[in-house]
Amino acid sequence: MLITIPDVLNAEQLRDCRQALEQAQWEDGRTTAGYLAQSSKRNLQLPLDTTVSRQMGEFLMHVLGQHSGFIAAALPLRMLPPRFNRYEGGGEYGNHIDNAIFTVPGTAQRLRTDVSTTLFFSDPDEYEGGELIIEDVYGTQSIKLPAGHMVVYPGTSLHRVQPVTKGTRYASFFWTQSMVRHAHQRKLLWELDQSIQQLAKQNIDGQELSRLTGIYHNLLREWSDV
């Protein structure tokens, strides 16, 4: 299930984030890559232990913790603090599947990467190339979203970032362990949630809407792992 979520950040938030990213000190992205990924990863990343990385990560976690669209899509149990990357000058990241397990920095807590997310800080007309290519059961999809928009997709997906041949592509990426482990179950819950939201806007009979809402929560109760 691939879901795009628009306008996660407003214009003021985007401006502040871009300013911080443009002034930050970056390092070779291969420092965080595994042995096999090092040969296909050519980008820059913010070091995890810098003040700007921590502050922006905390800011995004606060925003996403209040964002109903992200919560409905990911059904988050716990999140790995967001990371930040920069592609330019032909930078790319070849086909790969993300690590299944990460340790939350500064803790002994481990997190399963059920859901992958990319939040764009650059508009499509600011750079050439740089598409996020995601391959899943629904085929190959090319993602290049406006700044402030976000894509959520299963962590099991094979994906890559196409070479950025002109300009600079800034983005944040992170992983979520969902309350619902399996992507097909999250997809059904997402579709049911969206139908309930649309019916609520149409002032559908309250009893039927309550019945559907009850089905949603009973399925979540059945499938959740908390």
pLDDT tens-digit readout, 166-181: 999 999 999 999 999 9
Identify the sign of the CA torsion 216, 219, 223, 226.
positive
Q: Which domains does the chain have, with CATH numbers?
A: 3-178 (2.60.120.620), 183-223 (4.10.860.20)
pLDDT above 80: residue 118: yes
Phi, psi of 202 (to 5 degrees): -95, 10
Mean pLDDT of 67-71: 96
Mean pLDDT of 194-198: 92
- CA dist 119 and 94 (Å) reads 19
Mean pLDDT of 103-121: 95
- CA dist 179 and 225 (Å) reads 5
pLDDT confidence of residue 134 = 97
pLDDT confidence of residue 69 = 95
pLDDT confidence of residue 153 = 97
Q: Give the Cβ contact number of residue 69 at 10 Å.
A: 20
- CA dist 79 and 175 (Å) reads 6
Could you tell me the pTM of the whole model? 0.94
Q: Is 125 annotated as a binding residue?
A: no
Q: How confident is the model at residue 36 (pLDDT cuts 50, 70, 90)?
A: low
Q: Is 54 annotated as a binding residue?
A: no
Q: Is 221 annotated as a binding residue?
A: no
120 - beta bridge partners?
171
pLDDT confidence of residue 117 = 98
Q: How confident is the model at residue 31 (pLDDT cuts 50, 70, 90)?
A: confident
Q: Is 182 annotated as a binding residue?
A: no
Residue 18 neighbours by CB under 8 Å, 6+ apart: 121, 147, 170
pLDDT confidence of residue 1 = 85
pLDDT above 70: residue 33: no
pLDDT confidence of residue 201 = 86
Which two structure tokens, joined as six digits, stand for 181? 């482990």
- Closest CA relative to residue 61, chosen from 83, 29, 86: 83
- At residue 183, the 3 state secondary structure works out as helix
